[in-house]
């Protein structure tokens, strides 16, 4: 590393000091770290803890982002720039330090500087507690999109909630999941900037009343029962080797002072403290469920809280631009990440009509031109709806507004489809078929100019199933944007070995222009040396994962075995238990023919279950129970191993995806909206075994049928089978291997003779099997046999692996974001200054 010594002028005030705040030589960075250790952590090196060093390094890196951050924020107030506002209740950003070093291009210098200070950069990277402000795919997608927005120089703000406690930490005790609160802020968060002066008030409860304004017009005033304040916390999100540093603005809830004073003045000190606690509760904790929980008033408060703060913030930016609210939709493209922020439709109406006295029709046009809605699910039970009584108690004014939106909307429906009361009732934003509910997907769809699914199959099925009536009403609004993931974090950062080989082979443009560049490695599939190097890198990644699994679980795994990996939330539709049936089948085959030559496999699972999702937790217990039997049976030693990697999160994902040989994408066709883990695996050279579900369909199209292990019923066949009447027991009775596996689970073979433990799982499979495991079992097993055969030919496997990566260009989130910009937001990248 070149160690140019930039002279430090003693007369330069430190804030403007080129060297310590912005310099990128090893010496400048070293000095910066020491300064921050001294000035921010208040420590001398001899007494500094690892966290002190981590903080000092993180602040030094952040310092180097600030010039561009400040410049990018300033540009947000330029009148003609259209800002993409990504509203999401979840942002699963993952650890920042490594990614920011990568974006700034200073990893080597910082590594050296840290080394000269007696520290190890990898230890400090490990020290970072990741902000787990999301549950899974949806939150991680938002993070990949923030990365791409910055790298494409699109002016953008991500708006969300600064949960004090993110997704719980998972521990495995006696094979069961236990949850521990995620105290991610405990040691401080060096990446955020708190901005107490950027604060908005948010009302809850109370009632509304009419009044006449000074022009004699009838207006509505909301008199709330409670008022809380939202404070902005800003995190910079940097482009890869470019100037844009966008803004992730998360809101923390606090008490408003006036409430304290009110109570204090009448002497009720405790009541004022109560108020503070209640107010702070709003942003306290992320709901850890992967399906919406009906009737949780706090969840509705969270949604309204962050949406209201965000829209008020946008209106404030519009004011700073000196522009009228009449052109709000020209300044902002608001994307609703699922229905969680869909109250934005009613809130923007309220702000425009009640607070800014705009007339209804104009406000509605602006609202519709501003909002767009992304749907992420096909499970009808996952479509969000709020019980009307609860909703109207919290948001009385929004209820009125929604009723008025609905009244006008249903008039349109009646006009388009006369004498079709069934349709009117199905389309109504208010579900009145029994207990009354507010249907959030309907609110979002009615108030948006575009509605998109997240993979081609998903977008198509939406128009035929859960959103069919809305599609019939607004066919022109529906579109598809297939998800993508960022190649920066998911290849360049997490798989440095592979990244370096690719760069040595085709140059480094692939990191920024993945879609156009990555296919250039394809010709090298013919190069034996390249293939060997490719395999060597995978082998190294597998060794490192093996060491980590040993450290975390005590389980020893063989890096020469096929690493067969399924990491994702635990859910019945994702069918981790189908994977388990395959493990048991292989186990039984070996037991029957101990000398049989089989391809050694290591099955690796990871993922969290919603704390209240009994069946998902039982599946975790099943995996661990089968693991215990298989891993300790001398007959299968050296051939089968099963490991459950605890606490799967972004940070752990960095180690898992690059080490996989086989990626399990085995959901029931028609249930997984897209999947994004499937893309991360494939980008890292794992082959996929999967159904024709979500983005698997498009991955297979890209990599070619011959490089993808396909099995199972299609979405259409699934529907067909269910309509005709599905009898899982028939499959059980007619398939000896399947019967044996299920009987073993039932009899207690994997649970020390306890035949009660897995009874709910087995009963469900035999009597209902809503996700068709038994119907797909044989097809899956046969496909897995083909996988094993293919793996025997390591050279062929390497070819397939290379082709997988070469064909992944489409699945860069840069491509997805470009489509959002071109087709939905009509935003343009910032022009260079």
Closer of 255 and 455 to ligand F58 (Cβ): 455
In angstroms, give the least distance from the CB of 456 to ligand F58: 13
Phi, psi of 775 (to 5 degrees): -65, -35
Give the span between the Cα atoms of 51 and 55, in whole angstroms: 6
Closer of 145 and 510 to ligand F58 (Cβ): 145
Q: Would you please indicate which residues are annotated as catalytic (active-site) residues?
A: 376, 568-569, 574, 676, 680
C-alpha closest to that of 588 among 629, 618, 643: 629
Could you say which of 178, 201, 262, 289 contacts ligand F58 (CB under 6 A)? 289
Closer of 377 and 649 to ligand F58 (Cβ): 377
Give the span between the Cα atoms of 23 and 29, in whole angstroms: 7
Residue 662's DSSP bridge partners are: 564, 687
Region from 77-85, 211-219, 672-680, 782-790 binding ligand F58, contact rule CB under 6 A: 672-680
In angstroms, give the least distance from the CB of 337 to ligand F58: 9
Could you say which of 27, 35, 290, 533 contacts ligand F58 (CB under 6 A)? 290
Distances (CA, A) of 219 to 94, 231, 350, 397: 46, 29, 11, 12
CB half-sphere exposure, 622, CA atoms < 13 A: 31
For residues 109 and 24, the answer to whether their CB atoms sit within 8 Å is yes
DSSP 547-560: HHHHHHH-----TT
For residues 568 and 136, the answer to whether their CB atoms sit within 8 Å is yes
Is residue 565 within a helix (H) or strand (E), and if so which, with residue range?
strand 562-567
Closer of 306 and 534 to ligand F58 (Cβ): 306
In angstroms, give the least distance from the CB of 339 to ligand F58: 9
Which 217-276 residues touch ligand F58, going by CB under 6 A?
Answer: none
Region from 287-295, 430-438, 499-507, 619-627 binding ligand F58, contact rule CB under 6 A: 287-295
Closer of 89 and 545 to ligand F58 (Cβ): 89
Closer of 312 and 483 to ligand F58 (Cβ): 483
Closest residue (Cβ) to ligand F58? 137
Distances (CA, A) of 749 to 592, 753, 815: 16, 6, 49
Could you say which of 17, 85, 119, 135 contacts ligand F58 (CB under 6 A)? 135
In angstroms, give the least distance from the CB of 375 to ligand F58: 9
What are the structure tokens assigned to 378, written together?
A: 């096909």
Could you say which of 341, 694, 728, 809 contacts ligand F58 (CB under 6 A)? 694
Site string for ligand F58, 482-521 (x = CB under 6 A): -x--------------------------------------
Closer of 296 and 423 to ligand F58 (Cβ): 296
- Residue 141 binding ligand F58, by CB under 6 A: yes
CB half-sphere exposure, 21, CA atoms < 13 A: 11
Residue 260 CB partners (closer than 8 Å, separation 6+): 272, 275, 276
In angstroms, give the least distance from the CB of 336 to ligand F58: 13
Residue 65: how many CB atoms within 10 A of its CB? 20
Give the span between the Cα atoms of 286 and 299, in whole angstroms: 9
What are the structure tokens assigned to 324, written together?
A: 């009228």
Region from 66-74, 220-228, 246-254, 669-677 binding ligand F58, contact rule CB under 6 A: 669-677
Residue 356: how many CB atoms within 10 A of its CB? 13
- Residue 676 binding ligand F58, by CB under 6 A: yes
- Residue 138 binding ligand F58, by CB under 6 A: yes
Pairing mode, strands 437-439 and 332-337? unpaired
Region from 328-336, 431-439, 616-624, 668-676 binding ligand F58, contact rule CB under 6 A: 668-676
The alpha carbon of 394 is separated from its chain's Cα centroid by a whole number of angstroms, namely 28
The three-class DSSP label of residue 681 is helix
Closer of 569 and 651 to ligand F58 (Cβ): 569
In angstroms, give the least distance from the CB of 141 to ligand F58: 4
In angstroms, give the least distance from the CB of 140 to ligand F58: 7
Region from 42-50, 392-400, 673-681, 813-821 binding ligand F58, contact rule CB under 6 A: 673-681
Could you say which of 103, 317, 673, 808 contacts ligand F58 (CB under 6 A)? 673
C-alpha closest to that of 573 among 658, 651, 667: 667
- Residue 291 binding ligand F58, by CB under 6 A: yes
- Residue 672 binding ligand F58, by CB under 6 A: yes
Residue 338 CB partners (closer than 8 Å, separation 6+): 88, 89, 138, 374, 375, 376, 377, 384
In angstroms, give the least distance from the CB of 379 to ligand F58: 8
- Residue 674 binding ligand F58, by CB under 6 A: yes
Closer of 294 and 593 to ligand F58 (Cβ): 294
For residues 562 and 600, the answer to whether their CB atoms sit within 8 Å is yes
Give the span between the Cα atoms of 639 and 626, in whole angstroms: 15
In angstroms, give the least distance from the CB of 269 to ligand F58: 38
Give the span between the Cα atoms of 395 and 438, in whole angstroms: 12
In angstroms, give the least distance from the CB of 135 to ligand F58: 4
Region from 125-133, 137-145, 550-558, 639-647 binding ligand F58, contact rule CB under 6 A: 137-145
In angstroms, give the least distance from the CB of 715 to ligand F58: 14
Region from 130-138, 150-158, 328-336, 355-363 binding ligand F58, contact rule CB under 6 A: 130-138
Q: Is 252 exposed, middle or buried (0-12, 13-18, 19+ CB in 10 A)?
A: buried
Contacts 24+ apart (CB under 8 A), 407-413: 408/364, 409/446, 412/473, 413/473
Closer of 138 and 669 to ligand F58 (Cβ): 138
Which 450-479 residues touch ligand F58, going by CB under 6 A?
Answer: 454
Closer of 397 and 450 to ligand F58 (Cβ): 450
Tell me the angle at which helices 773-792 and 576-592 cross, rounded to the nearest 10 degrees: 60
In angstroms, give the least distance from the CB of 461 to ligand F58: 12
The alpha carbon of 669 is separated from its chain's Cα centroid by a whole number of angstroms, namely 21
| Residue labelled with tokens 């107030």 | 77
Give the span between the Cα atoms of 510 and 521, in whole angstroms: 10
Binding-site size for ligand F58 (CB under 6 A) equals: 19
DSSP 831: P
For residues 333 and 370, the answer to whether their CB atoms sit within 8 Å is yes
In angstroms, give the least distance from the CB of 612 to ligand F58: 13
C-alpha closest to that of 769 among 737, 816, 815, 729: 729
DSSP 285: B
Closer of 158 and 694 to ligand F58 (Cβ): 694
Give the span between the Cα atoms of 618 and 176, in whole angstroms: 8
Closer of 132 and 155 to ligand F58 (Cβ): 132
Region from 289-297, 438-446, 470-478, 780-788 binding ligand F58, contact rule CB under 6 A: 289-297
The three-class DSSP label of residue 710 is strand
Length of the chain: 833
Region from 136-144, 487-495, 700-708, 726-734 binding ligand F58, contact rule CB under 6 A: 136-144
- Residue 292 binding ligand F58, by CB under 6 A: yes
Q: Residues in the site for ligand F58, rule: CB under 6 A?
A: 135-138, 141, 289-292, 376-377, 454, 483, 672-676, 694
């Amino acid at each position: 590393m070149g160690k140019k010594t930039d002279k430090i002028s003693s007369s330069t005030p430190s804030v403007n000091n080129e060297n310590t705040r912005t310099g990128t030589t090893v010496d400048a960075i070293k000095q910066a770290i020491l300064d921050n250790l001294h000035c921010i952590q208040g420590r001398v090196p001899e007494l500094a803890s690892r966290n002190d060093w981590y903080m000092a390094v993180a602040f030094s890196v952040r310092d180097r982002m600030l010039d561009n951050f400040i410049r990018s924020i300033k540009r947000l107030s330029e009148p003609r720039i259209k800002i993409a506002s990504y509203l999401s209740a979840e942002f699963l950003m993952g650890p920042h330090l490594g990614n920011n070093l990568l974006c700034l291009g200073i990893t080597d210098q910082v590594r050296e500087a840290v080394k000269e200070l007696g520290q190890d950069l990898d230890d400090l990277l490990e020290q970072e507690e990741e902000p787990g402000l999301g549950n899974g795919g949806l939150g991680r997608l938002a993070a990949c999109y923030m990365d791409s927005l910055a790298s494409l120089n699109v002016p953008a703000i991500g708006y969300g909630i600064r949960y004090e406690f993110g997704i719980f930490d998972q521990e495995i005790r006696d094979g069961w999941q236990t949850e521990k609160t995620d105290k991610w802020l405990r040691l401080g968060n060096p990446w955020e900037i708190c901005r107490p002066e950027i604060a908005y008030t948010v009302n809850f409860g109370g009632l509304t009343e009419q009044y006449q304004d000074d022009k004699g017009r009838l207006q509505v005033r909301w008199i709330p029962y409670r008022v809380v304040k939202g404070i902005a916390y800003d995190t910079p999100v940097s482009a890869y080797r470019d100037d844009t540093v966008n803004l992730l603005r998360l809101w923390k809830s606090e008490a408003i002072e006036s409430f304290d004073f009110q109570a204090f003045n009448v002497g009720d000190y405790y009541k004022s403290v109560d108020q503070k606690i209640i107010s702070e509760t709003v942003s306290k904790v992320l709901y850890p469920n992967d399906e919406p929980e009906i009737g949780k008033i706090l969840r509705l408060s969270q949604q309204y809280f962050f949406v209201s703060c965000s829209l008020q913030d946008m209106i404030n930016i519009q004011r700073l631009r000196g522009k009228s609210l009449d052109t709000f939709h020209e300044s902002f493209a608001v994307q609703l990440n699922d229905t969680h922020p869909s109250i934005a439709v009613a809130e923007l109406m309220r702000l425009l009509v009640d607070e800014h006295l705009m007339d209804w029709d104009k406000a509605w046009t602006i609202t519709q031109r501003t909002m767009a809605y992304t749907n992420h699910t096909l499970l009808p039970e996952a479509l969000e709806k709020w019980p009307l009584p609860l909703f109207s108690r919290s948001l009385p004014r929004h209820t009125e507004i929604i009723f008025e939106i609905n009244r006008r909307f249903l008039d349109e429906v009646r006009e388009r489809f006369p004498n079709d009361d069934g349709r009117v009732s199905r389309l109504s934003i208010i579900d009145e078929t029994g207990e009354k509910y507010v249907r959030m997907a309907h609110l979002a769809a009615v108030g948006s100019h575009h509605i998109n699914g997240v993979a081609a199959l998903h977008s198509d099925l939406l128009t035929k199933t859960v959103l069919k009536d809305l599609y019939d009403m607004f066919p022109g609004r529906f579109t598809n944007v297939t998800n993508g993931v960022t190649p920066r974090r998911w290849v360049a950062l997490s798989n440095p070995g592979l990244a370096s080989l690719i760069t040595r082979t085709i140059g480094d443009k692939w990191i920024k222009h993945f879609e156009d560049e990555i296919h250039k490695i394809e010709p090298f599939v013919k190069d034996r040396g390249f293939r060997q190097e490719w395999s060597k890198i995978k082998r190294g990644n597998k060794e490192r994962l093996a060491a980590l699994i040993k450290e975390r679980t005590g389980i020893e795994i063989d890096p020469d075995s096929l690493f067969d990996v399924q990491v994702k939330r635990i859910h019945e539709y994702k069918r981790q238990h189908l994977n388990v049936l395959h493990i048991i089948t292989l186990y039984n085959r070996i037991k029957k023919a101990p000398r049989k030559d089989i391809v050694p496999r290591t099955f690796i699972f990871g993922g969290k279950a919603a704390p209240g999702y009994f069946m998902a937790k039982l599946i975790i217990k099943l995996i661990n129970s089968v693991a215990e039997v298989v891993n300790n049976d001398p007959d299968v030693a050296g051939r089968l191993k099963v490991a459950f990697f605890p606490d799967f999160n972004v940070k752990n994902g960095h180690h898992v995806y690059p080490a996989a040989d086989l990626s399990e994408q085995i959901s029931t066709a028609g249930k997984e909206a897209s999947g994004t883990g499937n893309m991360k695996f494939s980008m890292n050279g794992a082959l996929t075994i999967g159904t024709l579900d979500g983005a698997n369909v498009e991955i297979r199209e890209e990599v070619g049928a011959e490089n993808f292990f396909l099995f199972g019923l299609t979405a259409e066949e699934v529907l067909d089978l269910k309509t005709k009447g599905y009898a899982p027991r028939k499959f059980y009775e007619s398939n000896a291997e399947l019967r044996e596996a299920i009987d073993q689970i039932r009899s207690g073979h994997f649970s020390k003779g306890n035949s009660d433990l897995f009874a709910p799982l087995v009963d469900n499979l035999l009597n209902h099997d809503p996700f068709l495991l038994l119907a797909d079992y044989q097809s899956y097993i046969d496909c897995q046999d083909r996988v094993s055969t293919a793996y025997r030919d390591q050279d062929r496997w390497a070819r397939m692996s290379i082709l997988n990566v070469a064909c992944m260009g489409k699945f860069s989130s840069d491509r997805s974001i470009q489509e959002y910009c071109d087709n939905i937001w009509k935003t343009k990248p910032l022009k260079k200054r």
